[in-house]
A and B are shown apart, each in its own frame.
Chain A
Amino acid sequence: SQTIHQWPATLVQPVGSPLSLECTVEGTSNPNLYWYRQAAGRGLQLLFYSVGIGQISSEVPQNLSASRPQDRQFILSSKKLLLSDSGFYLCAWSWTSILETQYFGPGTRLLVL
């Protein structure tokens, strides 16, 4: 079976500090990978998706970047955090098929102070 991990679970960072959130998937190869942000009381906003190593598509221009150094590893980064970066970050994976049902990780709560 497939599992998806995210860490850390919770993070409190000062404004202007760097960020690195990690997501890894087990039990599958060459998955599609996704980063979402969910602000309090809001729906999900797709930030990035990747269909393969080194292949990143950005949906929303902002203070964040993503990288996929390995097949099942997806990293969300920032050089300098803003207050508006606070939120709940979810990583998801899907099969590389037309249906592409997305399966989500447990998420990371980020608070920027």
Chain B
Amino acid sequence: AQTVTQSQPEMSVQEAETVTLSCTYDTSESDYYLFWYKQPPSRQMILVIRQEAYKQQNATENRFSVNFQKAAKSFSLKISDSQLGDAAMYFCALKLYAGNNRKLIWGLGTSLAVNP
């Protein structure tokens, strides 16, 4: 069975600084996708970044980047130059490539506070 673990229930960062959110996962499959979603207080789930497991290059979207370590099954999210609007719950998710499995396997989330 696939699992996704976010070991940091809560984190905080000072505005303009950098923070890294951790995510580890477990799967026996070799082809899969990984995602980070952000859920602000409005509770709408917003895609932050995604990574295809077959790509060695880490994905980057503006101030957001990932450190994907396939062998270690680690997928951390780095937020640079943190802004007040980055305060939210952040969820890591895994989707297998193969078959008809439509499920995203979700972590329980990390609550990020941004201090002014």
Of chain B, the residue at the smallest CB distance from A106 is B44
At the interface, yes or no: B95 with Cβ under 8 Å from chain A? yes
Across the interface, B33 reaches (CB within 8 A) one of A44, A99, A106, namely A99
Contact A46 B43 (CB under 8 A): no
Contact with A along B32-76 (1 / 0, CB 8 A): 010101000011111100101000000000000000000000000
Chain A: interface residue total (CB-CB under 8 A): 25
Of chain B, the residue at the smallest CB distance from A107 is B43
Contact with B along A30-59 (1 / 0, CB 8 A): 001010001000111010010100000101
Contact B107 A104 (CB under 8 A): no
- Contact A88:B104 (CB < 8 A) given known A43-B91, A99-B33, A101-B35: no
A15 to chain B, nearest CB (A): 24
Contact A88 B43 (CB under 8 A): yes
Chain B: interface residue total (CB-CB under 8 A): 21
Contact A43 B47 (CB under 8 A): no
Q: Which residues of B contact A57 (CB under 8 A)?
A: 102
Q: How far is the CA of A34 from the CA of B44 in the complex (A)?
A: 14
Q: How far is the CA of A90 from the CA of B107 in the complex (A)?
A: 16
At the interface, yes or no: B108 with Cβ under 8 Å from chain A? yes
Q: How far is the CA of A34 from the CA of B45 in the complex (A)?
A: 13
Q: A46-B104, A105-B44 are in contact. List 10 more A-B contacts (CB 8 A).
A: A34-B102, A42-B108, A49-B102, A57-B102, A88-B43, A99-B50, A101-B47, A104-B37, A104-B45, A106-B44
What are 21 A-B pairs with beta-carbon distances under 8 A? Answer: A38-B43, A42-B108, A43-B91, A43-B107, A43-B108, A44-B104, A44-B106, A46-B104, A51-B102, A92-B45, A98-B97, A99-B50, A99-B52, A100-B95, A100-B102, A101-B33, A101-B35, A102-B104, A104-B46, A106-B44, A107-B44
